């Protein structure tokens, strides 16, 4: 009996879908590159890209956004990750309430969130600090849904209960169990959460604009009112930066796994 040759058709459909998705994602990037390299004379040049480093306010805003991303990643690593792991291990009854709390930011529009926290940030700016780095608290709340889902998926893919019991049996402390045994096994989820945090901080505009903080997206909007080429160049550079992170992180993880396997062998 001759079996139907469906494998070739499936491969063709997969390649077609991949090509369509790649075109859908790449066409805007190509259009941005085309626009940012055009000159008024109709030629090509990198004047818009060089102009990025000639605007001190823009450079300061970029550095502020990068500092915010670093603070948010630190909050994820030292607060969110241990909390999610501890609830998963010791307090399973709190998983649903914790998931509900972490998913709430998805249901609250940004404009509503700003209205709710505006008075809090007014008090903070008067009594504590006017630094835009205080936005790290809001950004940490915004990325909770994505961070929680990535960590939860990693925890469900690994038998962390067995790892925790084995480490405790061998005399490991709670700190060693969390950061030395469990964290390396779920580093894929942690890395995913870090990349999502960077992408959100670099791309967030509504909250920082309405609270009058000068972040990268706010400055891009201001620059775009006078020079669209520079604004598009900055936006494309931030997209490429996040894309390089997405490509580099799985490669580094795979490399570490190979090194660990070679050492074990």
155-176 core/surface letters (b: 16 or more CB in 10 A; e: else): beeeebeebbeebeeeeeeeee
Structural domains of the chain, with CATH: 56-264 (1.10.3720.10)
Answer yes or no: is pLDDT of 225 > 70: yes
Q: d(Cα 203, Cα 65) in Å, to the nearest integer?
A: 9
Residues 187-219: tens digit of each pLDDT = 888 888 888 888 888 888 888 888 888 888 888
Instruction: Calculate the average pLDDT of the chain.
Output: 80
Sequence-distant (≥ 6) Cβ neighbours of residue 94 within 8 angstroms: 87
C-alpha angle 235-240-243 in degrees, rounded to nearest 5: 130
For residue 255, the model assigns a pLDDT of 46
Ramachandran bin of 4, using left for φ above 0, alpha for ψ from -120 to 50, beta for the remaining angles: beta
Sequence-distant (≥ 6) Cβ neighbours of residue 174 within 8 angstroms: none
For residue 259, the model assigns a pLDDT of 45
Residues 92-122: tens digit of each pLDDT = 888 888 888 888 888 888 788 888 888 888 8
Higher pLDDT, 135 or 157: 135
Residues 28-53: tens digit of each pLDDT = 888 888 888 887 777 787 788 888 78
For residue 7, the model assigns a pLDDT of 66
Q: Which residue, 168, 186, 207, is CA-closest to 77?
A: 186
Structure tokens that stand for 121 in this block: 């940030």
């Amino acid at each position: 009996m001759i079996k139907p040759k469906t494998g070739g058709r499936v491969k063709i459909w997969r390649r077609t879908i991949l090509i369509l998705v790649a075109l859908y994602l790449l066409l805007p990037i190509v259009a941005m590159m085309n626009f940012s390299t055009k000159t008024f004379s109709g030629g090509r040049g990198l004047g818009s890209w060089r102009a990025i480093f000639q605007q001190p306010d823009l450079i300061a805003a970029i550095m502020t956004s990068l500092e915010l991303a670093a603070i948010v990643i630190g909050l994820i690593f030292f607060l969110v990750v241990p909390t999610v792991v501890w609830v998963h291990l010791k307090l399973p009854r709190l998983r649903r309430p914790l998931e509900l709390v972490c998913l709430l930011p998805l249901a609250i529009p940004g404009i509503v969130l700003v209205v709710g926290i505006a008075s809090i940030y007014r008090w903070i700016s008067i009594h504590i600090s006017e630094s835009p780095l205080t936005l790290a608290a809001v950004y940490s709340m915004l990325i909770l849904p994505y961070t929680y889902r990535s960590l939860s998926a990693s925890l469900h893919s690994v038998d962390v209960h067995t790892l925790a019991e084995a480490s405790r049996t061998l005399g490991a402390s709670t700190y060693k169990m969390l950061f030395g045994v469990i964290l390396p096994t779920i580093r894929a989820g942690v890395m995913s959460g870090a990349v999502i945090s960077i992408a959100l901080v670099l791309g967030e505009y509504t909250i920082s604009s309405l609270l009058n903080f000068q972040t990268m997206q706010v400055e891009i909007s201001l620059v775009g009112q006078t020079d669209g080429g520079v604004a598009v160049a900055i936006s494309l550079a931030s997209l490429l930066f996040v894309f390089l992170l997405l490509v580099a992180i799985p490669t580094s993880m795979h490399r570490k796994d190979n090194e660990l396997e070679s050492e074990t062998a």
